[in-house]
Amino acid sequence: MDAELLNRELVKESLLNYVVHFEELDSTNKYAKENNLPPDGIVITSNQTEGKGRFGRKWIAAHDEDLTFTLVKKFKISVDNIHLVNFYTSYILSETLKVFLSSHKNLHIHLKWPNDVLLNKKKICGILLDVSGLNAVEKFFIIGIGLNVNKKVIPEDIAHKATSLSNETNIEHNIEEILISFVRNFYSKLHLIDIRSELMSAWKLNSELIGKNVRFLVVADSHEEEAEILDINVDGSLKVKLSNDEVKSFYSGEITFVY
């Protein structure tokens, strides 16, 4: 990892206040949290050994091949709108990747509710968000991002639902370039977070869920449901029609999709 390049492009160009790079680290999210890092900076590692995923899962990244980093950022946002940061981050990631992949044919990036980025229907990127200072006007966000870039071997148990950029394109990609471009895009479209309807419409345009039938698990009591997805509401919840025709909305964390 060329930490000098990241510093030059992101800090000296005044986008970020700092980039901290570790050759090896257990988790960039954990480090950012434990060290109370100030906003507008990035913690990144070339070898994340105990990456955390959503729902207590592990996030496995390959040494020197994948992108694992945490962006520390403050947002003036109400508690009701915190989820918008998730939608915003996944939207920016998908836009960034689309530009990177524009010269490749037959590649399709889309978003999967609530915040996965898929490439050719397989997960390529995950976001793990942590918020603190809920009583303050400005909330403090730890935005952890894992992107499978040049990983060749996907663990067998998830090979049907996960992939990497290099697996789909058959070429190696430049990790630093992707990160720099993501950060530039992230900082250039921040106004979208204040215009909730615009952000959610942009997000929906990039997702293919609406009209689809899905199976999901209701986390609270572990029962499975089959439903048609009707919409994503502006508050970020998923509006579905259950098999008994009942229309219900679920928030992120209340359900997980069954693959």
Interaction between residue 114 and ligand BTN (CB under 6 A): no
Considering only 93, 128, 202, 240, the residue that binds ligand BTN (CB under 6 A) is 128
Looking at beta carbons only, is 34 or 245 nearer to ligand BTN?
Answer: 34
Ranked by CB distance to ligand BTN, the top (closest) residue is: 126
Looking at beta carbons only, is 28 or 164 nearer to ligand BTN?
Answer: 28
Euclidean distance between CA atoms 228 and 208, whole angstroms: 12
Considering only 8, 57, 160, 215, the residue that binds ligand BTN (CB under 6 A) is 57
Cβ 206 to ligand BTN, closest distance in Å?
A: 17
Euclidean distance between CA atoms 156 and 45, whole angstroms: 25
Interaction between residue 236 and ligand BTN (CB under 6 A): no
Q: Could you give the C-alpha distances from 18 to 21, 26, 81, 114, in angstroms and in order?
A: 10, 20, 27, 29
Handedness of CA 151, 3, 146, 201 (dihedral sign): negative
Considering only 19, 29, 89, 150, the residue that binds ligand BTN (CB under 6 A) is 29
Considering only 6, 20, 42, 59, the residue that binds ligand BTN (CB under 6 A) is 59
Euclidean distance between CA atoms 43 and 228, whole angstroms: 39
Residue 117 near residue 98, CB atoms below 8 Å: no
Helical axes 83-100 vs 175-188, angle rounded to 10°: 130
Interaction between residue 70 and ligand BTN (CB under 6 A): yes
Euclidean distance between CA atoms 208 and 14, whole angstroms: 36
Cβ 235 to ligand BTN, closest distance in Å?
A: 21
Looking at beta carbons only, is 105 or 151 nearer to ligand BTN?
Answer: 151
Judged by CB under 6 A, the number of residues near ligand BTN is 19
Euclidean distance between CA atoms 126 and 118, whole angstroms: 9
Chain residues in the site for ligand BTN (CB under 6 A): 27-29, 48, 51-54, 57, 59, 68-70, 126-128, 144-146
